[in-house]
Amino acid sequence: MQFLVIGKDGKDEKAAERRLAVREAHLLLGDQMEASGKRWYGCVLKDDKGKMIGSMAILDFLSEEELKKYLNKEPYIVGKVWKTVEIYKCEVKNPWKFNRPESFFNTKTGSQRSLG
């Protein structure tokens, strides 16, 4: 079962400080989840000035209960970074990340090719 999770940061003056305090733990958990196949994709949300204001992830769990277990340990929730969290069940068809040959990710320049 796939889920779209959108977490939006608080807007108080300490919001950025809270995010930075737990960011490494959030990224580490994301990498672990990606390695296990539970996180398919994630990104930071930014405002027009480039300031981080939230996050988005496409996650895959066997049940909503497993999703809740993840959310209970997500550093941006535990660290009170995300003020709001929106969760939607979703269905990703042929995610690009998983239907490209390994060579797509290992270019000589180290950057990925355009999908266009």
| pLDDT tens figures, 11-27 | 999 999 999 999 999 99
d(CA 107, CA 99): 16
* CA-wise closest residue to 58 among 72, 35, 40: 40
Q: What one-character-per-residue DSSP string does 6-35 give?
A: EEEE--STTHHHHHHHHHHHHHHHHHHHHH
* Paired tokens of 30: 């994301």
| Structure confidence by residue, pLDDT tens digits, 22-44 | 999 999 999 999 888 899 889 99
> Rounded CA gap, 4 and 88, in Å?
5
CATH topology of domain 2-105: Alpha-Beta Plaits (3.30.70)
CB atoms inside a 10 Å sphere around CB 2: 15
